[in-house]
Chain A
Amino acid sequence: MKLLKFAVIGAVIALTGCAASGPKFSAMQASTPAVNADQGRVYFYRKDSMFGAALQPAVVMDGAEVGKSQPGGYFYVDAASGSHEASTSTEATNKVSFVLEKGEVKYVRTAPSIGLLVGRVVPELVNADEANKELNDLSYTGKAK
């Protein structure tokens, strides 16, 4: 039993790490370009939390790496309208599929969850109202502008 306790405590410690740093969403808004008329935009973000913070997998969209799931961080990707799939991989691959219309903005939140060995980071679609509240204090981790 003691061993199990230590294993759990060790896992929690191992899963903690550093949060993203960079300009905040609120400060970035003015310099963020509008979405092209023939494209849509997907915001990827992760709330700032110590839980699972060491798990920072790449975010893959339609087979290409587009960023990293970092606690307290966000970035966005502009893409053609149509079907898309985003995924993160740790001990398993978790995917979310969605459609993007021209001019539409979608939000994908990645969140750590308990897995069998090291935990998972799960992407999920979030509505705009909820996402905008959560994004406000997050830091931009996309390409430098």
Chain B
Amino acid sequence: MPILLRNLLKSIFLSAVLCACAVQQTATLISLVPVEDSAAVTLSSPLELQLRTGYHRTLKQGSSWTRIGSVPQGDVYKPYRDVFTIEGAHVHEAYLVVDKGMLVGFYLPAERGYADLGQRKPIFFQ
């Protein structure tokens, strides 16, 4: 089978598999407690994320984030002059949720929900 055709079939299969997984989020609305100090911080090293839906995201080294508040799961960081999304069956704008130096999940501002990362990833800001 030609490589192009094989890749096409793989893409179709992958598309079907990935599209089936919705982003799992909290059933109840999450209250974001805003903070006043909102100086931007910079990510010291890149961070590769494997989402529970099967999709990947990379947080770029040098990307800027602003701590805008907190939710019960941790502090919430919004991308500074940028956008960040997570993806499952649909795409959701998302902010990072960091607990004690570990990325634990995402705050979904449009849904006012929380989506767990499924693991704790060390994250370093400067």
Contact = CB atoms under 8 A, between A and B. Distances in A.
Interface size class of A (residues with CB under 8 A): 20 to 34
B59 to A, nearest CB: 14
A92 B19 CA distance: 9
Contacts of B81: 127-128
Chain B contact residues: helix, strand, loop or mixed: mixed
B35 interface: no
Ranked nearest first, the 10 interchain pairs of A and B with the lowest CB-CB distance are A97-B110, A98-B93, A95-B90, A96-B91, A83-B110, A99-B109, A125-B83, A127-B82, A114-B11, A127-B83
Interface of B: 1, 5, 8, 11-12, 15-16, 19, 81-83, 85, 90-93, 108-112
25 contacts: A1-B1, A5-B5, A83-B111, A85-B110, A94-B91, A96-B92, A96-B93, A97-B90, A97-B91, A97-B92, A97-B93, A97-B111, A98-B110, A113-B15, A114-B8, A114-B15, A115-B12, A115-B15, A116-B16, A122-B91, A124-B91, A125-B83, A127-B81, A127-B82, A127-B83
